[in-house]
Amino acid sequence: LVPIVLIALFVAANGFFVAAEFSVMLAPYPRIESREEAGHRQAAYILTILRDKERRNDFIATAQIGITLASMGLGIYAEERVAHWLHEVLHLPWLSEHAATTAALVIAVGSLSFLHVVVGEMVPQTIAVQMPESVVLAVAGTMRVCEMLLKPMARQLNRAADFLITRSPVPVDQDDGLAYSKEEIQILIEESYHADHIEEDEFGYLERIGNFDDRTVNEVMTPRTRVVGIQEDATYADVIEVIREAGQSRYPIYGSNLDDIKGILHFKQLARLDRSAEFRLVDIITRVPDGDQDQETGALVVPGSTPLPQMLKLFQSRGAYMAVVQDEFQGTAGLVTLEDLMEEIFGEIEDESDLEASRVREAPRLEVRSRTTVVARLDVPVNELPEDFAEALGETKGEAETISGMIMNAIDRVPERGDETRLGKVFVRVAGEPPDLLPLLTLSPSTTSGNSRPTITRVAAHRFPCAPPTPSTSVQDPHMAPNRRMSTLFKLIYGSGEWIPAITSTSRSLILNYFLVTVVGLRPGIVGVILMIGRIWDAVNDPLVGLISDRLQTRWGRRRPLMLAAAVPMMVLFALLWTKPFDNQWSLFAWFVVISVVLDTAITVFSVPHTALVAELSSDYEERIDLSVWRNAFFILGALVIAALFKMLAEDWLGMLGGESNVFRGYMLAGWLFGASLLVAPVLNFITVKEPANVVSEVPVSVMEGLRTAYRNRPFVLLSTAYFFALTGLEVVIATFVWYLQIVLRATPLLESLLPAVLLGSSLLALPLVNLLVRKLGKLKAYIFCGFLWIATLPAYALYPQGAADTFLYFCVWLGFTYAAGITIPWAMLPDVLEYDELQTGNRSEGLFTAYMVFFRKLGGAVAVFVANLILAQAGFIEATYGTGIEQPQSVVTALRLLSGVLPTLLVAVGIFVIRKYPITRDRHRELLDELDERRQNDPVVAD
């Protein structure tokens, strides 16, 4: 155990110093300062580091020294020790000494490098980047001691680095790093938005503030054509009538025309008017200064090129609200108000005095209403149109840069309301009222690519007094995240959640059955009952957790709190599953029933919310395939790791625990090691995966009502039924795989661990091929195709020559491809079923439907183990044979052949027969999304 502990310490030390380095570089100075003012001890130390550039460099150098020492420890000590262990394992008669040494070294370097990079670098780095304040305060105490010990070395290394930097031909910024330029701030804001750290509204405010000083009055003013003014010789009754109709509080007063602005009238000035005197507007208005008047008083007159920040200062210094905007010829270009400036930051502002007939509403410059319809203003650049439209326009765009220019090229005049024309494969109709004409572009259906659903966007909102041709349709389902592309890192972190069901389900399907019967000594029938009881409990807890997950409301969302809460219980209970505290059969029965039930509950609390997020993170058909592939990549990776290492480590393959007599200690140690790995994914997902905004669906209030709701959904009935039969067939193969290798193929202990790893490893490598196949054929056709390949492969189990374990390797490679398809494609189909359910019921119940799919996965495993153990018991299987050399009777060999080859083939065939009627194809899915968009547009709950 000492070498294992030392290796773990080296990796942990590397991770600690990596976290320290990244967290201090990203530590938020204002928040650390506030913590210091509140009396936080470590905050004061970190604050001195951040304030002093030299201290900060010493801190970083100390962390880098720690990283270097930890890496050297792994390289010098761990690689040599692991290579020695592996050399003993690979010291086989058919393998030369040189080949064994080389293979051991390569495997040792590769495995330790993986451990070093993932656990010692990527995980702590991700946590430090996501939570720099918490991490830097957590490492401060230890780093203070390390800094004191290593300060002389760190100081000398910094001086050497400074010496080289000052003589480098590359210019180096000497800024202390605590301040950011405007461009850097804008980049940080954009990155924070794309990482889902700030909401869309907040991003809009910050982005508009950043762009505020780049805009001029010309861009935000009310143009001359929409200015409501009053002539200077108007009567009192005329003025009141204009105010009643326009509903504004301020009006420009003009002479002969709008180029002759005399001043600005506020309606309050009428209230102070002496009605007994002669009414003259020019006597009560705030006048525009003449050339010989003081320009610091009177109404504001500004050129259209005035920057908005300068305009805001003028409003503040003069106490004004409205200004006249002049063009380059000293004519009136329009009016600008303080409200116009505020709307550039906060968006459209409407007060209660706006009249319905003249209410100014928000309309987008460019709005994608469906896959085939776009509404845009005339000044929108052609290159901002969606890709399908750009391709359909073809050469008809000519040299035009805007939609207006493109239409003018086609009709040889300025566009007017009612104009219609065809540009390539795009039909254009001009609607709206001057000066806000809105071309409606309709794409021919034959030109759509059909590969993705276009993002519904709004760009640079403007104000106009007329309603657009049709109501705005930019409605986002409150349950769904914006349909934008997710980064590979995000998919990787989310997919890592499948490590948990991979470790727990694979170990229980592949190894636990063997452990309980062969090692612990329970009878096969009792073991089948133990596992069946756990799955019966699943019939309640999976849908129940799904309902709770759908209805839960916390500051962290619906799903993530449950996922995090399950982490520690899963670790402890998984470790206890591999112990033998009693010798009595019925005491052991009770022990394993309780542990299985509670462990299964903890796994459900994590898995159901995690899987439900697939439908919420994206509504894109292809993105969901990618998410499912990443999830199943981690599932197969976890299954590969535990299949290759768990049994080998547990059964004392390194000779560390004293031989076969300590086999229980080996299984317990393996249980704790793999149990600890279950902590990583919940923490990373809680930190990184941000749930989209949601409302509580009107989901069923009971499990039985939820079951009725699920089974009124015909696509779900077909999918879940086919999944159950196919997965049960697969689980029969997995449940008897170890015994098949031992008893039928007479595999060596090394091959017993190697062959499952080959099967699962080939499954992992086959995932890109499965992904490509699904994209080419669609989910349904790809699933049926792979099902037939599965049927063609499985009967070979029943016919494989006894004792031919060496050649079984190639069979496992082929079987791995069909296994990858069987576990990947159904989960990629489930989100499409959820859209179908929403269309039928008006509710979204991701957690409920996911719970039933998880339930069928577990029920399939339980039925498989129960049936397999029952058949083996009837065939005369002898339990507790570990280390005894007792051979099983020929009847058991025959039973294993039937269980591994014939029964799974029949079950998979039933699954394919059921799924062939599944109605949701790629085209039908696109239609579902369009129908849902139309419904959401008309739903007052989700409409804008």
Tell me which of 290 and 263 has the higher pLDDT: 263
Give the integer Cα–Cα distance in Å for 284 and 273. Answer: 8
Q: DSSP class of residue 453?
A: P
Task: Identify the weakest region by mean pLDDT among 253-267, 840-854, 914-928.
Answer: 840-854
Residue 186 has pLDDT above 60, yes or no: yes
User: Which residues are 252's β-sheet partners?
Assistant: 264
Q: How confident is residue 582, by pLDDT bands cut at 50, 70 and 90? A: confident
Residue 455 has pLDDT above 60, yes or no: no
Task: Identify the weakest region by mean pLDDT among 98-102, 710-714, 925-929.
Answer: 98-102
Tell me which of 690 and 786 has the higher pLDDT: 786
User: What mean pLDDT do residues 164-171 have?
Assistant: 66
Q: Using one digit for the tens of pLDDT, what is the confidence trace for 542-573?
A: 667 776 776 676 777 778 888 888 889 999 99
- For position 621, what pLDDT does the model report? 55
Q: Using one digit for the tens of pLDDT, what is the confidence trace for 740-780?
A: 888 888 887 777 777 877 877 787 788 788 888 888 888 88
Give the integer Cα–Cα distance in Å for 263 and 288. Answer: 5
Q: Which helix (H) or strand (E) holds 386?
A: none
Residue 848 has pLDDT above 80, yes or no: no
- For position 87, what pLDDT does the model report? 64
Averaged confidence pLDDT in the chain: 75
Give the integer Cα–Cα distance in Å for 835 and 681. Answer: 28
Q: Using one digit for the tens of pLDDT, what is the confidence trace for 500-509?
A: 888 887 787 7
Contact 893, 744 (CB under 8 A): yes
- For position 465, what pLDDT does the model report? 30
Q: How confident is residue 128, by pLDDT bands cut at 50, 70 and 90? A: confident
Q: Using one digit for the tens of pLDDT, what is the confidence trace for 866-893?
A: 788 788 877 888 765 555 556 778 888 8
- For position 371, what pLDDT does the model report? 62
- For position 459, what pLDDT does the model report? 31
Single out the residue of 769, 862, 781, 863 nearest to residue 819, CA to CA. 769
- For position 692, what pLDDT does the model report? 62
Give the integer Cα–Cα distance in Å for 59 and 42. Answer: 14
User: What mean pLDDT do residues 909-930 have?
Assistant: 83
User: What mean pLDDT do residues 134-151 have?
Assistant: 87
Q: Using one digit for the tens of pLDDT, what is the confidence trace for 565-574?
A: 888 999 999 9
Q: Which two tokens stand for residue 510?
A: 């592949």
| Domains in the chain, CATH or no CATH each | 2-166 (no CATH), 182-207 (no CATH), 217-358 (3.10.580.10), 364-463 (3.30.465.10), 488-686+702-937 (1.20.1250.20)
Furthest-apart CA pair in the chain: how many Å? Answer: 122
User: What mean pLDDT do residues 218-233 have?
Assistant: 83
Helix, strand or coil, per DSSP, at residue 370: strand
Residue 436 has pLDDT above 80, yes or no: no
How long is the chain? Answer: 944
User: What mean pLDDT do residues 591-604 have?
Assistant: 89
Q: Which two tokens stand for residue 858?
A: 């577990």
Q: Which two tokens stand for residue 755?
A: 């062959």
Residue 715 has pLDDT above 80, yes or no: yes
Residue 332 has pLDDT above 70, yes or no: yes
Residue 458 has pLDDT above 50, yes or no: no
Cis omega (within 30 of 0) for bond into 435: yes
pTM check: above 0.85: no
User: What mean pLDDT do residues 183-209 have?
Assistant: 74
Q: How confident is residue 842, by pLDDT bands cut at 50, 70 and 90? A: low
Single out the residue of 494, 530, 840, 821 nearest to residue 682, CA to CA. 494
What is the torsion angle, in degrees rounded to the nearest 10, for the CA atoms of residue 365, residue 368, residue 374 and residue 375? -30
- For position 517, what pLDDT does the model report? 82
Q: Which two tokens stand for residue 319?
A: 């106490």
Residue 446 has pLDDT above 50, yes or no: no
Q: How many CB atoms lie within 10 A of CB 774?
A: 26
- For position 540, what pLDDT does the model report? 66
Q: How confident is residue 701, by pLDDT bands cut at 50, 70 and 90? A: very low
- For position 11, what pLDDT does the model report? 85
Give the integer Cα–Cα distance in Å for 807 and 805. Answer: 6
Q: Using one digit for the tens of pLDDT, what is the confidence trace for 65-83?
A: 888 888 888 777 777 777 7
Task: Identify the weakest region by mean pLDDT among 64-73, 85-94, 170-179, 927-936.
Answer: 170-179
Give the integer Cα–Cα distance in Å for 516 and 441. Answer: 68
Give the integer Cα–Cα distance in Å for 421 and 442. Answer: 11
User: What mean pLDDT do residues 252-261 have?
Assistant: 85
- For position 453, what pLDDT does the model report? 32
Q: Using one digit for the tens of pLDDT, what is the confidence trace for 364-418?
A: 567 776 666 777 777 777 777 877 777 777 766 666 777 877 887 777 776 777 7
Give the integer Cα–Cα distance in Å for 103 and 840. Answer: 58
